[in-house]
Structure 1
Amino acid sequence: MATQKKLHALIDWLQIQVLNKEELREVVGELLEMPFDYFVERKGQLTYYSYNRVIEYANIRIYFRSENEKESEDGDCMIVIDGTGMRFLQEIYLPEKGITLKVFLKQLLSNKRWRMKVTRVDATIDDFNEIPYFTPNQLLKICEKKQFFYGKSTTYDVYGQETKEKGMTLYLKPPSADDRIKIYDKQAERAKVSGLRKKDLPPWIRVEIAFRREKAQKFVLYYLSYDYALIDVIKGYLKEKVRFFSDTQMTQPLRKWERFLGKTIPVTISVPKEDSELTQKFRWYFYQGAYPVYHAYHYCLKNKLLNKYELEEFERLQTSMELEGIFSPQLTSELIKRATEKGRIELIPELKHLIKQPKIKEYREMRK
């Protein structure tokens, strides 16, 4: 019979954006309190962001922008720690300093010199019971009958098929969600990577919540603000948001799920709707910016009131070559975020193409 003692929680991915970076050496030495010389620099990109370089030490990466092989002073960088990096912190680096991960994160995020925001955190619960509380396939059957909900969502997806040697992955909520859940057979995943038979490895079912954007920040701050163990915060969130039922009337909670969550207190992590940075820019444009001037220009264009230079300038701006440099890196990041939220990720390559700087020399020659 499955027991709570066989459940373990961890943070499997952590991503923090530093908004007021000046030098990477300061971020590493003063913020992370790590030796800068341990980090190795190479080319590196991060999906949805315009960083082009990365420094790395023990799977702790810091992405940044570089121009002409020199660190750009554009004011931000991204700290990314994957699962291997998190294990290094918890099992080797932090014990040597005599502190826990929770204390480390508190010290990091409370540093008043730096402006930071958590942009992603993957919080997981691992079930190591010989007979787990449930398998992805068992929960999939409930989802197929629409006998569940996750907040207001009943969206689910599945990858792979559950067999003796292979495992499946069950997703709750769409890819664009800021708290998508992934339930999968970690035992099968490890067997595939290592080339071993699944039965030669211990049972392992993982439940993972990928918090993103504002909800990632809220989750981490909630965890750091209370004395609750990480596993209780994760289970509390699941108890508050996710329900599985064993009957079509959805009146009988699924016993497997209830036993997995145990007596944990429900946790509410809400993000008030706020205007995005892009929306704020649009509002400024409409009410304080160049909106009236734009219409005046358009009126003159339509009624042939532009002089020769103004008309040439309009025609020049219509060419795709000149449009390559229309967006700043920050505005491009905001547009990429909007495209991701709306499920239009196919626009990302085009948006990245528009980040290039305009050809100042050609622009000056045209004005002569």
Structure 2
Amino acid sequence: MVIALPPATAPPVTLVPTHTVSHATPAPHGWTSYTVRSGDTLIGLAATFRTTPRALAVKNGLQDARQLWAGSTIQVPGRVGSTAKAAPRSTGRTLGAHTVRAGETLTSIADRYRTTVPSIAKANGISTRAFIFPGQTLRLSATSRASGATSTATKAGSAKASGTAYRVRSGDTLLGIASRHGRTVSALVKANGLRGTVIHAGQRLVIPAAAARRTEAPNTFFGIRYPDKVVANAARNRQILAGRTVPTRAQTRTMIAATARRHGVDPRLALAISMQESGWNQRQVSVANAVGIMQVIPSGGEWASSLIGRRLNLLDAQDNVTAGVVMLRALTRSAGSEDVAIAGYYQGLSSVQSRGMYSDTKRYVAGIKALKGRM
């Protein structure tokens, strides 16, 4: 969404841990090269290669964990009879591979295959809290099918104790589910360990207990607090759209692609961004009053109106798509690269150019590019 979630005054920092369990020798078999994969963390790599996050940081000159990104090459401890570039071996029986879909988490994937998050994390050499994105391929390991089933049952029991289990149906959105159960979107995100707001049919969610609602401010989202007026306007727009007929997902997809072609924007890019932002749902309105299919806030709508030369109504599906597409066109022309344009749609182009991409922005860009490849 364009500037719908204003960034903090400084980018979020994930510092290298200063207090860790040390090993007598960080690299008893010497060091070798390793290509960082999406979801890798210093802590996860340290566990995989039997060293410490601090030793990895010192060896590679890393000041903080933000300097670790997919595709970069770092030095890690070598292993006897193997190389660091080889994928970490799983001690369990391999079940196959799974391509991550929008809205999936490690927990939902583990539930689906009746395995555990630690088993998947170990099979892929990633942290159990690693960020995953649509299009990513994960190896599946049946280290303990029985324990996986037990884990699922335990989580189901835990859900009953702390909340209610809910199976996502076609057409559901986090906003709609939150509204029906009297919860906030941020409460659902926190309760389910989600990295975003996109969900998919068949996904299992936990609806937190009502008591949790008292700790959630109604005008906050992902830790950002919005003025009461903005929240009230968002509620009003949500109510208006609830009473309107909106296009189906198939109709929305056709509309986005046609509008993108008409304005010289790559249809796959526009489809990917709109899928990530709203799941192609015109009724989606965030607490920050980002409206509709392209999740455009009012100031973004004013900008888009000036770009196209007429007043755009963000509550109208076609106008909403047009607003997002023409802004994306302007960002692409100004940014100099597609990655920066995508980042600008999420973080704001001026912020990206002056501060660089924040860690969550980098994840957003990676997710959009993965989605684009599937459109």
TM-score when scaled to structure 1?
0.27
Give the structure with the larger strand fraction: 1
TM-score when scaled to structure 2?
0.27
